[in-house]
Structure 1
Amino acid sequence: MIKEIHFELSEFQTRLAAVKKQMVRRGIDILLLSEPPNQNYLTGYNAYSFYTPQMVIVAQDHAEPIWIGRFMDRVSASMTTYLSEDNIRAYPDTYVQSATLSAYDFMAGIVKELGGERARIGVEMGGYYYPARGHADLTRALPNAEFIDADLLVGWIRLVKSPAEVAIMRQAGQLADAAMKRAIDMVQASVRECDVAAAIYHQQISGTPEFGGDYPCCPPDLCIGERSIAPHAAWTDDPLPESTVVNLELNGCRHRYQVNLARTIVVGQPSPAFVNLSEIAVEALNAGLEAVRPGRTCSEVDGDFRKALARHGIEKESRIGYPTGIGFPPASGERTASIRKGDETVLKPGMVFHMMPGLWLDNVGITITQSFAVSDTGYEPLTKTPRKLFVK
């Protein structure tokens, strides 16, 4: 059977040891991981199967994690993880979308095998893939266990990437650059918005001559014309007019690691005021980037960005950055640190952020961004698309 594993076994062992160390600190005996990025991080598992109940179990006295999923996806677990077959468990299809059977009862049975009837069990209460019904079924099946919110326990460990992870994210950055170039080349008057979106999707997957891309965990944001003041708008099938603004955010995804990139493209001649706004946005973005170095906090970086913006009488309400890494639908952000006022997370080499200081004002929007890895002395850009306004 083929094996599609992108890291050495030692890397997975280091990750697992870090998770178990945190479990000890929090007094957790068994950790139930429902979030696909965390499952991928600890086992390598990668398949589009997370629309049915799926779990990775980490137990203090069990050498490997245990993957649990739908029976037909067991083969993907064998192909994409380093786990022994004994630690790949699958429930019958009768549990899938059943009105009477719960896959979480099956999972609870494996917890019992591990001696977890009275354990302190950590679960991801804030996760996208831990439904209220699932939690209710688990607590009913394990009435003597103590359930503890362990949301983001793995997320905070994932925040600092290994050199091997950063190497993959450099490739993801190349994919993002290629997709952005394709979009910029495509944008012109009379081209339909949906055709621009289609070109982006094609380039994201076809990638570069050296390597291809994965499906992105979120669609490109094509915010055009009046929708350019909306950060997360969808495209239509309308043709682009002779004069308009296109705010585009997309990403490159390689082995599930995602790097984001946004640029503003103007069809026609932009007004002098809009050109000036783009220069202000780039100035503030560069100020934020130059503030990045190990030992500084997210809040301090945000402060330097806002000082540059304030010199022009502009304020930005939202955060200016978030970490990225392993990405599965519905979102690319890691839900841990944010580059914003009050976030005292200390920057460390290996952290990866999308600095997204988009400006959405009353009647105009502009998005020029930069993904970067924190280096030993500052920051390493992960994309090379020029930080400027593009005019077509």
Structure 2
Amino acid sequence: MKKQLPFERGEFAARLSAVKKEMAKRGIDVLLLSEPPNQNYLTGYDSLSFYTPQMVIVTLNHDEPIWIARLMERPHAAMGTYLADDNIRTYPDEYVNSHAGLSAYDVMADLVKELGGEKARIGVEMGGYYYSARAHADLVRALPLAEFIDADLLVNWIRIVKSPAELVYMRQAGRVADAMVRRAFDTIEPGVRECDIAAAVYHQQISGTPEFGGGYDSSCLFFGAGERALTPHPQWTDKPLPASTTIYMEAHGVRLRYQVNLARTIVVGKPSAPYQKFTEIAIEALNVGLESVRSGRTCSEIQAAYAQALARHGYEKEARLGYSQGIGYPPASAERTASLRKGDNTVLQSGMCFHMMAALWLEDRSICITQPFVVTNDGHEPLTSTSRTLVVK
């Protein structure tokens, strides 16, 4: 089968080298990766197969990672990863949702033993979305002589800094997000059903741009009109838009699993003067936060600049200001690493990507105008070009 890889082999080699270096630093002999973004990062594997047990295994003394999942997924792994055939392993389908007491993790444990890891220090992603209590219990039972180490976020912290090749896809994902938001602006009119607007936005998400297509996102389109615009994660209904309403929407542009989030508030009808002022305050604070971004500053310092700008007008944002993002798989695009919030002393580095979620959700009103960006040595580069303004239809 012909390999279909999003990056050159050297890109994957550099990633693997960085992971092995961190493993050695922590005294980890074998690393079991259950999180789809980390599996993708190290091998290129991309298939919606993670609802069944699958792992990427990294050992210090093995040249390549080893991928293991159910048998039917092998062709995709053969095409979508750079791995040699012997490093693509499978287990029979009888282990999937078995009612006979079979555990796929027994097969994975046997593979660990084959790699010399029977008595090893084994790192696992204890906080991962796809590493269940049952998975851990089965592995501990099957490898009683091994020592299990919590290696959650080991790979996440490495992939927080994007390579130049990754930034190409992040910029393209940003262009898809721009196209999705423009499609929403063009479709929103009084009388149009919310679900029809969502359908148009989803069409744009998959269609992408004339130069390249898009993909599915890590969660879903957030779309709420009227009172539901006061909530951060609303979904559309089949109700037609009234002649006057407020809409909150967050779109997710995706390019080869790299995701960029972008949110806007749209007003149908004429916004009141107090709401216009509220919007201006939110945009001012967002811009102050963005202007404070540069390599060498901490996440906490960025949040403080934004918070001070809000405080001058008597407002406070309780939730974090933003989060790092890159490769996105369900259920979330955030990398679970750095957040733009008070007390997060992560030092910004050139190549880190964030979604500055400068949204204010109050009991009686909300405004959400956000900006995804990549950190540069002397500032930031916006990943989208949609104007940071309130949209009035």
The answer to whether structure 1 residue 269 and structure 2 residue 285 are counterparts is no
* Residues 109-148 of structure 1 aligned to structure 2 (within 5 Å): 109-148=110-149
- The CA distance in 2 between the partners of 1:324 and 1:162, in whole Å, is 13
- The CA distance in 2 between the partners of 1:31 and 1:12, in whole Å, is 16
The SS at the match of 1:97 is coil
Report the residue type matching 1:83 in the other structure. Answer: L
- The CA distance in 1 between the partners of 2:31 and 2:114, in whole Å, is 14
Q: Which residue of 2 aligns with 1:364?
A: 365
CA shift for structure 1 position 226: 0.5
CA shift for structure 1 position 153: 0.3
The SS at the match of 2:328 is strand
- The CA distance in 1 between the partners of 2:3 and 2:236, in whole Å, is 38
The SS at the match of 1:38 is helix
- The CA distance in 1 between the partners of 2:159 and 2:9, in whole Å, is 17
Q: Which residue of 2 aligns with 1:43?
A: 43
Aligned-pair Cα RMSD in Å? 0.6
Report the residue type matching 2:310 in the other structure. Answer: L
The SS at the match of 2:123 is strand
Structure 1: state its 5+ residue gaps. none
The SS at the match of 2:73 is helix
* Residues 322-333 of structure 1 aligned to structure 2 (within 5 Å): 322-333=323-334
Q: Which residue of 2 aligns with 1:314?
A: 315
- The CA distance in 2 between the partners of 1:307 and 1:224, in whole Å, is 30
The SS at the match of 1:319 is coil
* Residues 155-166 of structure 1 aligned to structure 2 (within 5 Å): 155-166=156-167
Report the residue type matching 2:47 in the other structure. Answer: A
- The CA distance in 2 between the partners of 1:209 and 1:235, in whole Å, is 27
Structure 2: state its 5+ residue gaps. none
Give the aligned length: 392
- The CA distance in 1 between the partners of 2:359 and 2:4, in whole Å, is 37
Give the stretch that moved more between structures: 91-100 or 347-356. Answer: 91-100
* Residues 72-151 of structure 1 aligned to structure 2 (within 5 Å): 72-99=72-99, 100-151=101-152
CA shift for structure 1 position 357: 1.2
The SS at the match of 2:336 is coil
The answer to whether structure 1 residue 288 and structure 2 residue 289 are counterparts is yes
So what's the TM-score if we normalise by structure 2? 0.99
* Residues 184-333 of structure 1 aligned to structure 2 (within 5 Å): 184-333=185-334
Segments of 4+ in structure 1 off by > 6 A? none
CA shift for structure 1 position 376: 2.0
So what's the TM-score if we normalise by structure 1? 0.99
The SS at the match of 2:338 is coil
Report the residue type matching 1:276 in the other structure. Answer: K
Report the residue type matching 1:284 in the other structure. Answer: A
- The CA distance in 2 between the partners of 1:39 and 1:219, in whole Å, is 22
- The CA distance in 1 between the partners of 2:230 and 2:203, in whole Å, is 26
The answer to whether structure 1 residue 57 and structure 2 residue 65 are counterparts is no
The SS at the match of 1:201 is helix
- The CA distance in 1 between the partners of 2:142 and 2:198, in whole Å, is 46
- The CA distance in 1 between the partners of 2:70 and 2:364, in whole Å, is 49
- The CA distance in 2 between the partners of 1:171 and 1:312, in whole Å, is 36
Could you report, residue by residue, the CA deviation over 1:174-194 in whole angstroms, capped at 9, with x for unpaired residues?
A: 000000000111111111111
Q: Percent identity?
A: 66
- The CA distance in 2 between the partners of 1:147 and 1:219, in whole Å, is 35
Report the residue type matching 2:31 in the other structure. Answer: L
CA shift for structure 1 position 37: 0.1
Q: Which residue of 1 aligns with 2:11?
A: 11
- The CA distance in 1 between the partners of 2:83 and 2:2, in whole Å, is 14
